[in-house]
Chain A
Amino acid sequence: MFRATVAICGRTVVKRFISSVSGESALPSNLRLPSNLIGVPREKRPPPSGSEHPLLRRCEAEIPAHLAPSQTWLHSLNSCDSETLGVVDLHPDVFSVPVRLDILHAVEVWQRNFKRISHAKVKSRAEVSGGGRKPWNQKGSGRARQGSIRAPHWRGGGVAHGPRGPTSYYYMLPMKMRVQGLKIALTSKLAQDYLHIVDSLEIPTPDPAYLMDLIKQRQWGDSVLIVDVGDEFPQNLLKATENLMTVNVIPAIGLNVHSILKHESLVLTLETVKFLENKLLWHDVRYSPLYPFKLPYNDLP
């Protein structure tokens, strides 16, 4: 037995020695990807730097002196093979905030729960039909004393502590927390290379296959959320995305953390970026409300 254990120990020692000596890769075997894996890994395009690309948009709001604007490419949806049009500046206080995952989680959970109304309801012993009369005398019958046939321990009786009536799970997070959640979501998308800025949403054909081709060729991911300001969208885009389930178009007012997290990639137009920066930066410099914001203020935009 001793010889057997020595032999086993020797084998493992030899394996480790071989792997350290060969030095193919420091990754353990369960993290190494096989070489015949289907599916091309995303090639990260290096972020724009240097002055050779034209700067097509500067931030309207003032950027603090100690921060520099984050830059990203500007694409166009017009043709599959078109290269980037240039470089766009994004405000650092919206697109590179420190990523607080706890705030993101709190906002996502809030979105799931505040609208929830659970309609589960069971009848209590008072609501079940019948059961007003005492089934048998208190004393003399030999059976246990019972007061009604709809008591909770009876078959067909009411439930003692069941769900009662439509219940709401409504609560509100502080406004600044919800705003910060949006900023963090946008920051994470930019940092993970899933945020794409587009000049306009015009496409040449209303064919959904064109969009899928474009998305596949540019490696935008499985699902795309397209955001634009205003009510009118180009007809071609609406027709193309009508039957596509993973590519969705929403107005800028409808942007929210859950949709950003659900869709793999986010596409914003230049007007959307301006709108978002305007709305989200205001909360950093506003006074706390004396009365709800829905009532008129003379200095609110």
Chain B
Amino acid sequence: MSLFGGLLRSTVTFCRSPSLLLCTRHFTTGSCSRVRMHAIPKLKEVDRWTEKRSMFGVYDNIGILGEFKAHPKDLIKGPVWLKGFYGNELQRLIRKKRMVGDRMMTEDRHNLEKRISFLYRRFNRYGKHR
């Protein structure tokens, strides 16, 4: 505790040698409690055993264990153009336009086409990788 530092100092001053005083460093082993205990936010309580969490991952091996009639990519829930597909932004947008483009609203379609042409020019014309 800080008692000990004080004790050490007092023994040093008692010895009365100036060289020893210069050798000591002021130290403390306690804490002044700068942590404001009343303002610490509570940890959020997460229930680890909800239906979704306890059943996560079931049927992921449906191909191996189920005679290959289904593939794990059939389990993915999401937009049609992304099921079982991985690509960068340009590839995803092109795929979206091919698969879903006819059904899109005019503004969304226009933004999609602008974004595709912007990304095409950026990837194929500027920079180190073209």
> Do A and B actually bind?
yes
Interface size on A, residues (CB 8 A): 45
Complex contact B54–A245 (CB within 8 A): yes
Query: Min CB distance, B87 to chain A, in Å?
Result: 8
Chain A CB within 8 A of B61 CB: yes
Q: How far is the CB of B101 from chain A (nearest CB, A)?
A: 14
Q: Which residues of A contact B111 (CB under 8 A)?
A: 126-127
Task: List which A1-47 residues lie within 8 A (CB) of chain B.
Answer: 1, 3-4
B57 CB within 8 Å of chain A: yes
How many angstroms from the CA of A166 to the CA of B82 in the assembled complex? 8
A114 interface hit (Cβ, 8 Å): yes
How many whole Å from B97's CB to the nearest CB in chain A?
12
Residue pair B65, A117 in contact (C-beta under 8 Å): no
Q: Which residues of A contact B72 (CB under 8 A)?
A: 114-115, 172
**Which of A1, A115, A172, A178 is B75 in contact with, Cβ under 8 Å?**
A115
Bound together, the chains give a CA A245 to CA B54 distance in angstroms of 7
Given A165-B89, A223-B49, A1-B8 contact (CB < 8 Å):
yes
Indicate whether A235 reaches chain B with its CB closer than 8 angstroms: no
Task: Kindly list chain A residues whose C-beta atoms are within 8 Å of the C-beta of B35.
Answer: none
Binding site for A on B (CB under 8 A): 7-8, 11-12, 15, 20, 24, 49-51, 53-66, 68-69, 71-73, 75-79, 82, 84-86, 89, 92-93, 96, 111, 114-115, 118
Closest 8 CB pairs of A and B: A258-B57, A117-B78, A293-B68, A254-B58, A245-B49, A168-B82, A256-B60, A256-B57
Contacts from A to B (Cβ < 8 Å): 1, 3-4, 111, 114-115, 117, 124, 126-127, 164-172, 175, 178-179, 182, 223, 245-246, 248, 250, 252-259, 262, 275-276, 279-280, 283, 292-294
Given contacts A170-B84, A293-B63, 6 further A-B contacts (CB under 8 A): A4-B11, A111-B57, A253-B61, A259-B55, A275-B65, A279-B64
Can you list 28 A-B contacts (CB < 8 A)?
A3-B11, A111-B60, A114-B76, A115-B72, A117-B78, A126-B111, A126-B114, A164-B89, A165-B92, A166-B82, A170-B73, A170-B86, A175-B63, A182-B61, A245-B54, A246-B54, A250-B58, A252-B65, A253-B59, A253-B65, A253-B66, A254-B58, A254-B62, A257-B57, A259-B56, A262-B53, A279-B65, A294-B63
